[in-house]
Amino acid sequence: PLTRAEVLALPKVELHLHIEGTLEPELILRLAERNGIRLPYADLDDLRARYEFTDLQSFLNLYYANMAVLQTAEDFADLTRAYLARAQQAGVRHAEVFLDPQAHTVRGVALATCVSGVADVLEQSEAEFGMTSALIVTFLRDRPAAEALAVLTELIEMEAPIEGIGLDSAEVGHPPVDFEEVFALARAHGLECVAHAGEEGPPEYVWQALTLLQVARVDHGIRSLEDDALVSHLVERQIALTVCPFSNVRLRVVDTLADHPLPAMLARGLAVTVNSDDPAYFGGYLDDNFQALVTTFGLGATELATLSRNAVLAAFLTEEQREPLL
């Protein structure tokens, strides 16, 4: 098996990372103090004891509650800087970062505050952390599509520096079809499109993301394996799936890492990529996810190279930016 040093040295591309999911417990307490916010936690240990999840919703409850500490552009900037520093250590060379604007605007934080707080730091990622980056705004599918449409319209009007849009939050009962108009508007403005689908939701949601939202990549997508025609479609077109091993274990999508279908997905020829999703909540960053795959499945240099290459090919990069990563 590969050594830790070899895993770290592997040039990595991260395509499924929620910036709010990099909010570490220590930073939560520091920002709460800075902003004079009272949290319902006695101390760090009390907060840490709550990182035990039974499904996606149980995680989302804590994830959204902890965002209360994110108030100013400086808070979003500090959060983003902390992620980039950690990603650099992990060997990340390019990151496409998700931001959930509605999780902040519904609490009274201005759209420009959260977007510029993150975007201004990402703009410096190459100079400060030696990695390129892009911002993807994700819409909350468990909120009305009309609200997503209003936020997207505002982002377009303010000429926000975004590469694309995505769709996340509670999946079951919130099918992609509800967001057709939002994605059509994004495409009309030249924005790239991705969507979470087939994490807890059925293969039908993956089909909808592909055919109705016309996404370039599917976030998670692991339930695609239940539909052979869908697998063939994804393989033939080499549509990337941004798989998140630690997330799937911690949100009980799979029982243990050893039960994860990633090796089976690779064997079937799916364009699998490895990602960390919400690393502050799920037990590790991108290097840790790769390391665990190496340890659990004995993945070797060839498999890791395939996973990395899949991510480079699926990234929203110009050919000039892509070339040195291949």
Task: Pick out the residues of the known binding site for substrate.
Answer: 278
Asked if 169 is part of the footprint of ligand ADE (rule: CB under 6 A), the reply reads yes
Evaluated on CA atoms 93, 274, 191, 154, the torsion sign reads: negative
Query: Does the footprint of ligand ADE cover residue 168 (CB under 6 A)?
Result: yes
Give the nearest distance from C-beta 251 to ligand ADE in angstroms.
7
CB of 96 to ligand ADE, least distance (A): 14
Please state whether 272 falls in left (phi above 0), alpha (psi between -120 and 50) or beta: beta
Question: Which chain residues interact with Zn ion by CB under 5 A?
Answer: 277
- Residue 17 CB, nearest distance to ligand ADE (Å)? 9
Residues 197-236 that bind ligand ADE (CB under 6 A): 199
Nearer to Zn ion, 22 or 113 (CB): 22
Least distance to ligand ADE, CB of residue 6, Å: 28
- Identify residues 109-148 at the interface with ligand ADE (CB under 6 A): none
Q: Which residues contact 151 (CB under 8 A, 6 or more apart)?
A: 101, 102, 105, 111, 137, 139
Q: Which is nearer to ligand ADE, 71 or 138 (CB)?
A: 138
- Identify whether 303 is a catalytic site residue: no
Q: Which amino acid is present at 325?
A: L
Q: Do 87 and 131 contact (CB within 8 A), yes or no?
A: yes
Spell out the residues 6+ positions from residue 203 whose beta carbon is closer than 8 angstroms to its own: 223, 224, 226, 227, 230
- Structure tokens given for 30: 């520091």
Find the residue with minimal CB distance to ligand ADE.
168
Q: What is the rounded distance in angstroms from the CA atom of residue 291 to the CA atom of residue 3?
A: 9
Separation between Cα atoms, residue 290 and residue 261, nearest integer Å:
15
Q: Which does 56 bind (CB under 5 to 8 A by kind): ligand ADE, Zn ion, none?
A: ligand ADE
Q: Kindly determine how many residues on this chain lie close enough to bind ligand ADE according to the rule CB under 6 A.
A: 10
Residues 52-81 that bind ligand ADE (CB under 6 A): 56
Nearer to ligand ADE, 78 or 278 (CB): 278
CB 138, min distance to ligand ADE, A: 7
- The closest of 281, 274, 296 to 11, measured between CA atoms, is 274
Q: How far apart are CA 54 and CA 13, in angstroms?
A: 29
Query: Binding site membership: which residues?
Result: 16, 18, 196, 277-278
Of the residues 199, 204, 236, 323, only one is catalytic, namely 199
Token pair listed for 306 = 């395939």
169 binds, among ligand ADE, Zn ion, none (CB under 5 to 8 A by kind): ligand ADE
Select 21 or 117, whichever has its Cβ closest to ligand ADE: 21
* Burial of 222 from C-beta contacts in 10 A (0-12 / 13-18 / 19+): buried
Q: Enumerate the active-site residues.
A: 199
Residues binding ligand ADE (CB under 6 A): 18, 21, 56, 168-169, 196, 199, 247, 277-278
